[in-house]
Amino acid sequence: MIDINLIRNDRKKVKENIKKKFQDEKLPLVDEVYELDILLREKKQEIDKLRNGRKVLSEEIGNLMKNKEIELANLRKKSVNEINSRVESLEIEEAELQNKIKERMLLIPQIIDESVPIGKDDSENVELEKYGDSVVPAYEIPYHADICEKLNGLDKESAGRTSGNGFYYLMGDVARLHSALLSYARDFMIDKGFTYCIPPFMIRGDVVSGVMSFKEMDAMMYKIENEDLYLIGTSEHSMIGKFKGQLVKEEELPITLTSYSPCFRKEVGAHGIEERGIYRVHQFEKQEMVVLCKPEDAFTWYEKMWQYTVEFFRSLDIPVRTLECCSGDLADLKVKSCDVEAWSPRQRKYFEVGSCSTLGDAQARRLSIRAKAKEGNYYVATLNNTVLASPRGLIALLENNYQEDGSVKVPKALQPYMGGLEVIKPKQK
């Protein structure tokens, strides 16, 4: 949510930002908020004037009663009652106007950074840099589901019976490799100085609306029936929600957290659910990083955070690249974002394994998260980034470590988490 002062003082800037995101249908919202805000301030002024008048009358009534001027005092009381009635009516109108403004403000996108490339969708994202050699071996790399099945590591058929499409069982050494990845990701971030957290896996509706746009919410979140609770789509949601309504001490900033959680997503949209593989599913696990900091430090942390993800994957000998997200690919709360993509030797292209975003004060405004400083309180900046989202990370590892004989090498960084196992071999039938 942007600062209302931007609409009061620079509607042109807000509209230009909407156009950059190719959301012209939202342009009328800016003028609507502007007009509603004028009405709201007029109501507030009238209420303040009436309250001041009531205060004067109340003092006068007190003096009249002291002087036993009862009849005149009663007349003044009548006037006070009329004022009370008018104030009550105006307060209802004030609340209605505030709700109308908030409804519209929640739909107006955050002001994107000037460095963000302009484009309609993810097809216009801009490659920044490649890390590692994108090698294609002389032998064929099977589909990841086939690799897992040869290792007796994947059972989607049974998952279909128990849970439906979009779920899976990981088994044996593949399941162990999956857990090793997550454990390594956890320790990797702890070594970077982040505090490890396991958050709630369900959050209330007011936290959901505080951390994401309504469009994202509808496409992603599972709601618990008859409860004001949603299953989280990423641990960032509950980690930011941890600070809802809080006034943190400036000297405590930056707050750097790394959190593990299962994630649940409807995956509604054009991409759909992958029927055979485990690239796009309803349930997965994730190691996330979340930072709360001073606004002026946000971009410094943004650069650090995506570089941590690159470093993590390169420590596993997985080639990656970074992509700058264009304006049309940015969710409404984001100021700037980049994706980290891993190399797929099977597809001979990169695919997304993580995303890093700075959201400015958008989430902080929605959730009222401020820092206490000598110069006055201010909204903090929030950032989030994926360390590892698995099974996508698992897919990248399997493809890049697949051997011609059907085995999969275990990267050295993961071997301590695998009991020293160096190679996962196909199971004999």
Complete DSSP assignment for 140-157: PPPPHHHHHHHTT-EEHH
What pLDDT, on a 0 to 100 scale, did the predictor assign at position 1? 85
Q: How confident is the model at residue 24 (pLDDT cuts 50, 70, 90)?
A: very high
Q: What angle do CA 309, 314, 317 make, to 5 degrees?
A: 145
In degrees rounded to 5, what are phi and psi of residue 196? -80, 135
How many other CB atoms are there within 10 angstroms of residue 6's CB atom?
Answer: 15
Query: In this predicted structure, what is the pLDDT of residue 274?
Result: 64
Ordered by where they begin, the domains of the chain are: 4-105 (1.10.287.40), 122-424 (3.30.930.10)
**402 DSSP 8-state letter:** B
Q: What is the pLDDT of residues 92-102, one digit of tens each?
A: 999 999 999 99
Q: Taking 70 as the threshold, does the pLDDT of residue 272 lie above it? A: no
Mean pLDDT for the chain?
94
Q: Which amino acid belongs to residue 238?
A: S
Rounded CA separation 155/160 (Å): 9
pLDDT, residue 277, reads 87
Q: Which residue carries 């989202």 as its tokens?
A: 389
Express as a percent the part of the chain with pLDDT over 90: 83
What lies within 8 Å, CB to CB, of 272 at 6+ separation is 280
How far is Cα 334 from Cα 110, in angstroms, rounded to an integer?
A: 6
Q: Which of 49-58, 61-70, 391-400 has the lowest mean pLDDT?
A: 61-70
With a cut of 60, say whether residue 270 has pLDDT above it. Answer: no
Report CA torsion sign: 126, 128, 131, 136: positive
pLDDT band at 145 (very low <50, low <70, confident <90, very high): very high
User: Helix or strand or coil: residue 268?
Assistant: coil
Residue with token string 């942390």: 301
- Looking at residue 112, the DSSP 8-state letter turns out to be P
At residue 218 the predicted structure's pLDDT band, cuts being 50, 70 and 90, is confident
% of the chain surpassing 70 pLDDT: 98
Classify residue 71 as exposed, middle or buried by CB count within 10 Å of its CB (0-12, 13-18, 19+): exposed
Q: How confident is the model at residue 58 (pLDDT cuts 50, 70, 90)?
A: confident
Q: pTM score, two decimals?
A: 0.90
What value does the mean pLDDT take over residues 371-393?
A: 95
**Mean pLDDT of the 309-319 span:** 97
Q: What is the mean pLDDT of residues 333-352?
A: 96
Q: DSSP class of residue 1?
A: -
Buried b (16+ CB within 10 A) or exposed e, 102-133: eebbbbbbbbbbeebeebeeeeebeeeeebbe
Q: Please report which confidence band the pLDDT of residue 306 belongs to, taking 50, 70 and 90 as the band edges.
A: very high
Would you say residue 429 has pLDDT above 60?
no
Rounded CA separation 92/94 (Å): 5
Residue 90 scores a pLDDT above 90: yes
Give the integer Cα–Cα distance in Å for 329 and 324: 10
